[in-house]
Structure 1
Amino acid sequence: MNAPPDHRFDPYRERAGRLTAEDGGTGYVFVRMSPSAWQVGGALWWRRWSEPSEQVEEYYDLPGFGFTDRVTEAADLADEVLEWGEGRLSAGEDTYHVEWLDDDESRRVRDEVFGLGDPGEQK
Structure 2
Amino acid sequence: MSWRAFSETDPSDIPHERLEPFKHRVARLSETHGADSFLYVDASIAKTQVGGHLWWRRWSDPHVVVFLYVQFSDGRLEDLALERALLDAEIDAWERGEYVDEKTGSVHALTWLGTVESVQAWEAFEGPNDERRAFLSGSSGQDAAW
TM-score when normalising by structure 1: 0.87
Which residue does the alignment assign to 2:137? none
Which residue does the alignment assign to 1:39? 49
Identity %: 29
Counterparts in 2 of 1:72-83, with a 5 A limit?
Answer: 72-83=82-93
- Structure whose residues are more often helix by fraction: 2
- Partners of 1:37 and 1:55 in 2: how far apart? 9
Aligned-residue CA RMSD (Å): 1.8
Which residue does the alignment assign to 2:109? 97
* Unaligned stretches of 5+ residues in structure 2: 1-7, 133-146
Among candidates 98, 101, 118, match of residue 129 of structure 2:
118
Deviations for 1:2-45, whole angstroms, at most 9, x for unmatched residues?
26221111110110001111332311011011001110111112
* Unaligned stretches of 5+ residues in structure 1: none
For residue 120 of structure 1, report the CA deviation from its aligned partner: 2.7
For residue 91 of structure 1, report the CA deviation from its aligned partner: 1.8
User: Secondary structure at 1:8's aligned position in 2?
Assistant: coil
Among candidates 57, 77, 80, match of residue 70 of structure 1:
80
Which residue does the alignment assign to 2:3? none
Flag as ranges the 4+ runs of structure 1 deviating above 3 A.
Answer: none
Ranked by relative contact order (alpha carbons within 8 Å, sequence separation 6 or more), the top structure is 1
**Alignment: residue pair count:** 120
TM-score when normalising by structure 2: 0.74
Task: Name the CA shift for 1:86/1:57 in 2 (closer, same or farther; >3 Å).
Answer: same
Which residue does the alignment assign to 2:17? 7
